[in-house]
């Protein structure tokens, strides 16, 4: 085929549409038209059905196509591709993946040749995973097909806007200097130009006007006012609006959200693409409102090789319905900050921030020293790039200021000690490096002796600067010059969007109440080529458990998107599904409310956290179990005893609900909230075909042929021995974590499936077994586990487990529900949030808004 003829055909398609292009070619090139059109259709199909990601599209978008992929003579994508291959040394496979993913995003939007269109799409990436690179590719390809205005809404902070402008200039603008009109620059956000928009923006021009602006009310107002004067011209200019960090400020805000909608309305031919790693707020937008709900498509970007996300670092539990039951353990990168240190690192309340003086705690000392050691190792590996440590304990700028003398003083003392060869200091550093080296077995790097490290270490400490990066500071992180070695202390400016180059050590104590805020604070996520074995994170045990839970939430959302794509559902369908996910505090963009109703169809939920030193708490749980068993027997439930397992059949739902009301669940188990579960059960009871009116209750213990101290009596004739469930290391006290309570076969303990058979079955098959059993498809299963208060670790687990040290035997509880994981609830209700007397996200946001207002003024 004649390539020039094919590109001519594409040019007409992108300016006049497919039908007109086909008619014209049949008239002008009758001998070649059919072949050209067939090749065009083939390439469209290749773009839409090629490499992942999975994509949810509105009706019609999956079938209709227009984009045939980039062409060799395109002006903007080919130079960027060459830059990635040669300047950034990307492997060709990675560039090919970016090419296919970005083409798919373009292809599921609208053809710029259409006389009127509004595309609203959402691209879901991972925190620090290359979203900017993806939308850079999309911008280049959009320019190649005829979009003539590109507006990048780059977060709410100057640092992120400048970083984005720098990258686009380096990776797009400078590679084709005659093709772009740069309406903003690195140092300056949008200022009204002297030239009128109507003369600068030309519908048939070849140049693309690009604006990189913050999501500030005053900036957006200036831009909108300037564009409004060119409305007659804008009607014929296809525009692409890229909303970076689309869940921040864009959703449910009184100032920014209306401005973005107004900006979008100025262009009758417009594509809006939201980019975020935390899509909760975006998919909770009312799909029926005139808003930014991604009604056209939702894309979940694939995780690329070498990326460190929540799952890699913190591990996660197996998701419901996964074929394998094993749990994932993250890399050994997390170090625990003791709860007793927290008061010395952040003020307990907002009022206490005034005059707060932080201490150099043991954990902070270790973190800073490790940063210097790891940076020295990078230098020995001939890695001379930026090296950064993050210190994030509070949103309050006064607290950031208070850390400077603490860190400067410590740096000075260590530098003096290294210069004087202080043996006590050297021995301590040598031991710390010996303890840390090799704990993350990645990269296959050779071991480095401390004596080899020492000559480089002093220079690293000397080169280190303490940088305060917050909304009021002037001396912010700047990676545009020579390599930086910096300890960055900050708040919101360091917790979203901004990439911390060469991040090695993170010290994180900041409290937060929402999933999206926590995930976005994870600046340690991302790529660490050449030093993937070195990053470390210091945080509290509570925060570590939260991030592990978030890894499960992230994984399940992406699994859901994949399933919806296979079922050919639209974004409106997925909005309903995610809104009913049984979690609390998903996002602040819910009118300060929590999800109060959720489906448990096909799910199993189980306790894993216990207050091992709270005797009253533990005793009352045991008593709740005894009361349930005795009440069921008194009510005539059939009792089956097999060794240490006791099964009670046909237990009335009222006994189960009474148990749930009296049984204490640890507060860090939101999916076991008794109010949520009770609402779900009551709803199932009221269906036209009622379910969950009858239950099986199983007591899962060991045979009662053991010493008396390990026997638990539930009722007359119901005596079992305890089972062992040791706790994970670094847990205990108010939160002993046993990780897994249920064994796989216990999901079907009341069905006629032998345990050995159940252990061989896939988790998904076990899930549906209850629905296929005519006796149990409408019944729930409640399991009680009497756990020995001194449970030892299993043989071989001594490195990761400690003996349980409870003051009373522990009663674990699990629930198994009939139904499938595809069940969902169409109507969502909410309950109010009770704020704590500590700096909250709302207060943090208020301080940030005040600071932004000062900057704007």
| Residue 569 belongs to a domain | no
Please report the pLDDT score of residue 593 as a whole number: 37
| Residue 570 belongs to a domain | no
Residue 826 banded pLDDT, cuts 50, 70, 90: very low
Closest CA to 502 of 386, 330, 632, 594: 386
Query: 494 and 374, same structural domain?
Result: yes
Query: 385 and 319, same structural domain?
Result: yes
- Range with the poorest average pLDDT among 544-558, 585-599, 733-747: 585-599
Range from 139-153, 272-286, 351-365 that averages highest in pLDDT: 139-153
Please report the pLDDT score of residue 318 as a whole number: 67
Please report the pLDDT score of residue 598 as a whole number: 56
Query: 289 and 153, same structural domain?
Result: yes
Residue 844 banded pLDDT, cuts 50, 70, 90: very low
pLDDT digits (tens, 9 = 90+) for 494-520: 656 567 899 999 999 876 667 777 777
**pLDDT reading at 93 higher than 80:** yes
Closest CA to 841 of 172, 339, 281, 358: 281
Average of per-residue pLDDT across 245-261: 87
**pLDDT reading at 563 higher than 90:** no
Q: CB 693: neighbour CB atoms within 10 A?
A: 15
**pLDDT reading at 832 higher than 80:** no
pLDDT digits (tens, 9 = 90+) for 268-310: 999 999 998 887 677 666 777 788 988 899 888 888 878 888 8
- Pairwise CA distance, residues 697 & 637, whole Å: 10
Q: Which of 304, 319, 344 is the last residue of a domain?
A: 304
- For residues 2 and 235, which has the higher predicted lDDT (pLDDT)? 235
Please report the pLDDT score of residue 283 as a whole number: 67
Sequence-distant (6+) residues with CB within 8 A of 54 are: 299, 300, 561, 562, 565
CA angle, corner 276, sides to 542 and 153, nearest 5?
A: 130
| Residue 467 belongs to a domain | yes
> Tokens 């977060």, residue?
155
Please report the pLDDT score of residue 4 as a whole number: 86
Closest CA to 313 of 160, 489, 128, 495: 128
Q: Is 805 helix (H, G, I), strand (E, B) or coil?
A: coil
> Could you tell me the two tokens for 78?
């080919």
Residue 58 banded pLDDT, cuts 50, 70, 90: confident
Ranges of H-type helices in 336-490: 362-380, 397-419, 423-436, 450-463
> Tokens 């689309």, residue?
246
CA-to-CA dists, residue 122 to 275, 277, 292, 335, angstroms: 6, 10, 9, 35
Closest CA to 55 of 413, 361, 299: 299
Rounded to two decimals, the pTM is 0.70
pLDDT digits (tens, 9 = 90+) for 166-194: 999 999 999 998 899 999 999 899 998 88
| Residue 154 belongs to a domain | yes
- For residues 667 and 392, which has the higher predicted lDDT (pLDDT)? 392
Residue 845 banded pLDDT, cuts 50, 70, 90: very low
Provide the domain count of the chain. 4
CB-based contact 338:317 (threshold 8 Å): no
Query: 209 and 130, same structural domain?
Result: yes
Ranges of H-type helices in 315-395: 362-380
Query: 294 and 347, same structural domain?
Result: no
pLDDT digits (tens, 9 = 90+) for 636-677: 999 999 989 999 999 999 999 999 999 999 987 767 878 888
Average of per-residue pLDDT across 331-345: 93
pLDDT digits (tens, 9 = 90+) for 748-784: 999 999 999 998 887 778 878 888 888 888 999 999 9
Query: 194 and 174, same structural domain?
Result: yes
Q: Which of 269, 304, 339 is the last residue of a domain?
A: 304
Query: 240 and 342, same structural domain?
Result: no
Give me the domain span that covers residue 26. Answer: 1-47
Output phi, psi for 448, to 5 deg: -120, 120
| Residue 841 belongs to a domain | no
| Residue 408 belongs to a domain | yes
Query: 159 and 38, same structural domain?
Result: no
- Pairwise CA distance, residues 764 & 821, whole Å: 10
Torsion of CA 757, 763, 767, 768, to 10 degrees: -70
Q: Which of 304, 324, 353 is the last residue of a domain?
A: 304
Average of per-residue pLDDT across 201-217: 88
CB-based contact 231:263 (threshold 8 Å): no
Please report the pLDDT score of residue 825 as a whole number: 37
Please report the pLDDT score of residue 836 as a whole number: 31
CA angle, corner 811, sides to 808 and 812, nearest 5?
A: 140
CB-based contact 275:131 (threshold 8 Å): yes
**pLDDT reading at 206 higher than 90:** no
Q: Output the domain CATH number for residue 241.
A: 3.40.50.300
Please report the pLDDT score of residue 492 as a whole number: 66
Please report the pLDDT score of residue 366 as a whole number: 98
Report the percent of the chain where pLDDT is more than 90: 53
- Pairwise CA distance, residues 611 & 30, whole Å: 80
Please report the pLDDT score of residue 290 as a whole number: 83
pLDDT digits (tens, 9 = 90+) for 573-627: 655 343 333 333 455 554 333 444 456 777 888 999 999 999 999 999 999 999 9
- Range with the poorest average pLDDT among 190-199, 206-215, 604-613: 190-199
Query: 361 and 267, same structural domain?
Result: no
Sequence-distant (6+) residues with CB within 8 A of 532 are: 306, 308, 440, 442, 443
Residue 831 banded pLDDT, cuts 50, 70, 90: very low
- Range with the poorest average pLDDT among 49-53, 250-254, 375-379, 480-484: 49-53
Please report the pLDDT score of residue 827 as a whole number: 34
Query: 327 and 353, same structural domain?
Result: yes
| Residue 836 belongs to a domain | no
- Pairwise CA distance, residues 517 & 232, whole Å: 41
Query: 2 and 61, same structural domain?
Result: no
What does the mean pLDDT of the chain come to? 85
**pLDDT reading at 822 higher than 70:** no
Query: 508 and 393, same structural domain?
Result: yes
Closest CA to 493 of 509, 510, 507, 473: 473
| Residue 853 belongs to a domain | no
């Amino acid at each position: 085929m004649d390539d020039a003829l094919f590109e001519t055909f594409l040019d007409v398609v992108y300016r006049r549409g497919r039908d007109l292009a086909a008619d014209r070619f049949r008239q002008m090139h009758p001998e070649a038209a059919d072949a050209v059109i067939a090749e065009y259709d083939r390439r469209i199909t290749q773009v839409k059905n090629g490499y992942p990601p999975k994509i949810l599209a509105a009706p019609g978008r999956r079938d209709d196509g227009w984009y045939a992929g980039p062409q060799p003579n395109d002006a903007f994508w080919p130079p960027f591709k060459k830059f990635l291959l040669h300047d950034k040394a990307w492997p060709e496979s990675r560039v090919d993946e970016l090419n296919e993913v970005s083409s798919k995003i373009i292809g599921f939007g609208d053809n710029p040749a259409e006389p009127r269109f509004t595309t609203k799409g959402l691209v879901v990436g991972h925190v620090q995973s290359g979203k900017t690179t993806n939308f850079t590719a999309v911008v280049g390809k959009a320019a190649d097909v005829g979009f003539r205005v590109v507006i990048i809404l780059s977060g709410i902070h100057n640092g992120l806007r400048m970083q984005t402008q720098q990258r686009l200039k380096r990776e797009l603008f400078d590679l084709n200097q005659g093709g772009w009109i740069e309406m903003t620059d690195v140092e300056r956000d949008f200022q009204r130009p002297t030239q009128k928009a109507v003369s600068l923006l030309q519908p048939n021009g070849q140049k693309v006007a690009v604006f990189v602006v913050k999501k500030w009310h005053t900036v957006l107002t200036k831009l909108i006012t300037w564009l409004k004067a060119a409305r007659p011209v804008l009607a014929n200019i296809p525009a692409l609006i890229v909303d970076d960090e689309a869940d921040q400020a864009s959703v449910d805000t009184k100032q920014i959200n209306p401005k973005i909608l107004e900006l979008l309305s100025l262009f009758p031919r417009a594509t809006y693409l939201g980019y975020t790693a935390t899509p909760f707020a975006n998919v909770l937008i009312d799909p029926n409102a005139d808003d930014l709900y991604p009604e056209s498509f939702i894309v979940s970007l694939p995780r690329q090789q070498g990326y460190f996300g929540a799952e890699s670092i913190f591990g996660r539990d197996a998701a419901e319905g996964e074929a394998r039951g094993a749990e994932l353990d993250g890399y050994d990168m997390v170090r625990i900050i003791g709860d007793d240190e927290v008061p010395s690192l952040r003020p307990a309340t907002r009022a206490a921030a005034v005059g707060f003086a932080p201490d150099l705690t043991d954990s902070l000392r270790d973190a800073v020293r490790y940063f210097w050691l790891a940076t020295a190792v990078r230098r020995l590996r001939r890695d001379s790039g930026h090296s950064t440590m993050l210190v994030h304990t509070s949103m309050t700028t006064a607290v950031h200021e208070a850390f400077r003398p603490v860190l400067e003083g410590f740096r000075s003392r260590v530098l003096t000690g290294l210069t004087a060869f202080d043996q006590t200091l050297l021995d301590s550093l040598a031991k710390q490096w010996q303890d840390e080296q090799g704990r993350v077995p990645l990269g296959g790097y050779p071991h480095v002796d401390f004596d080899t490290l020492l000559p480089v270490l002093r220079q690293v400490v000397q080169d280190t600067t303490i940088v305060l990066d917050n909304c009021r500071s002037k001396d912010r992180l700047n990676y545009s010059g020579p390599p930086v070695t910096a300890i960055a202390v900050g708040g919101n400016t360091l917790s979203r969007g901004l990439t911390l180059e060469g991040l090695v050590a993170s010290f994180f104590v900041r409290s937060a109440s929402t999933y999206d805020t926590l995930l976005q604070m994870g600046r340690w996520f991302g790529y660490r080529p050449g030093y993937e074995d070195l990053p470390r994170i210091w945080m509290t045990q509570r925060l570590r458990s939260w991030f592990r839970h978030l890894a499960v939430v992230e994984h399940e959302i992406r699994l859901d998107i994949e399933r919806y794509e296979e079922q050919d559902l639209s974004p409106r369908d997925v909005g309903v599904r995610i809104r009913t996910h049984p979690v609390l505090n998903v996002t602040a963009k819910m009118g300060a409310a929590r999800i109060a109703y959720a489906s448990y169809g096909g799910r199993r939920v189980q306790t894993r956290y216990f207050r091992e030193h709270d005797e009253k708490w533990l005793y009352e749980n045991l008593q709740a179990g005894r009361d349930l068993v005795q009440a069921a027997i008194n009510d005539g439930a059939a009792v089956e005893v097999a060794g240490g397992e006791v099964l009670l059949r046909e237990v009335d739902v009222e006994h189960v609900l009474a148990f749930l009301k009296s049984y204490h669940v640890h507060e860090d188990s939101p999916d076991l909230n008794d109010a949520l579960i009770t609402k779900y059960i009551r709803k199932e009871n009221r269906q036209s075909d009622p379910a969950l009116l009858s239950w099986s209750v199983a007591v899962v213990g060991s045979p009662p042929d053991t010493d008396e101290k390990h026997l638990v009596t539930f009722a007359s004739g119901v005596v079992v021995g305890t089972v062992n469930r040791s706790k994970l290391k670094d847990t205990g006290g108010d939160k002993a974590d046993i990780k897994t309570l249920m064994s796989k076969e216990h999901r079907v303990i009341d069905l006629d499936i032998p345990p050995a058979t159940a252990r061989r079955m896939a988790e998904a098959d076990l899930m549906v077994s209850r629905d296929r059993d005519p006796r149990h498809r409408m019944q729930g299963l409640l399991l009680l586990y009497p756990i020995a208060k001194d449970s030892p670790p299993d043989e071989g687990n001594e490195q990761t487990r400690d003996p349980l040290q409870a003051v009373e035997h522990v009663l674990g509880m699990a629930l198994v529900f009939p139904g499938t994981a595809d069940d969902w609830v169409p109507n969502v209700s909410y309950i109010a949030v009770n704020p704590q007397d500590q700096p909250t996200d709302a207060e943090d946001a208020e301080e940030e808004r005040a600071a932004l207002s000062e900057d704007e003024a």
